[in-house]
Structure 1
């Protein structure tokens, strides 16, 4: 079956070039708004803003980050007083990650910047086309995940 993409164009799309450009734009916008977070740190906070009290493994799974990476991110967020670790009541070996008051207080400001960055990224793209892109990337993701 033929494709509308050349192999080179398809590799460019799937290589993460757009992902990298979005991350650069987000970091730039964070800096412009005096938000001292990386995209990876924001991703962890984003999970916690929706579901506080996660294990490090849950955060790793939901952000596709390896265990050493999660540990470093949480260490840094803890040092910045944005999160704190608490022992799990049922299994003392596990640590649950909770937001501090400071971590909770920055959600609105951070999400305004994230949403503005996203809005800029998809400007002039019709919703129907965005839906096709979403469905296509979801199918690619599912194809790859089921091959494990």
Structure 2
């Protein structure tokens, strides 16, 4: 199969160069707007903004992190009064993670910065090309996930 990518270019693309650049830009924009979240903390809050009151396992699955990492992130988010743990009413061995009012109140401002960063990242790229890129990355992901 002939490709427009060299092995090095393809490796750089698939190994995280773009996500790293995006995360650097996002953290720069957060800092410039007085948002003190790390990208890891933001990823946890982003899940909770959609699924408030979920388990640590859901957070681990949705952010592709292990449980010890999730525990540390939640500990730090609790210290910042952004989330709180509450016992699950159906299984007292489990804690569910809920946003505090402070955590809920951050969503609009943080997501505005995220949206601005995404817009900056894809400027001057034809929407049809973006759709092809999206579909391609989904296929790569699916190819790798079915190998498990």
Report the TM-score when normalising by structure 2.
0.98
The SS at the match of 1:97 is strand
1:54 matched to which residue of 2? Answer: 54
1:42 aligns with 2:42: yes
Q: Deviations over 1:28-59 (max 9, x none)?
A: 10000000101111111011001101100000
1:83 aligns with 2:83: yes
Q: How does 1:19-34 map to 2 (within 5 A)?
A: 19-34=19-34
2:121 matched to which residue of 1? Answer: 121
Q: What's the offset of the Cα at 1:71?
A: 0.7
1:93 aligns with 2:60: no
Q: What's the offset of the Cα at 1:4?
A: 2.0
The answer for unaligned runs of 5 or more in structure 1 is none
The answer for unaligned runs of 5 or more in structure 2 is none
The CA RMSD measured in Å over matched residues stands at: 0.7
Q: What's the offset of the Cα at 1:2?
A: 2.3
Q: What's the offset of the Cα at 1:66?
A: 1.1
Report the TM-score when normalising by structure 1.
0.98
1:134 matched to which residue of 2? Answer: 134
The whole-number CA distance in structure 2 between the counterparts of 1:28 and 1:146 is 36
The SS at the match of 1:52 is coil
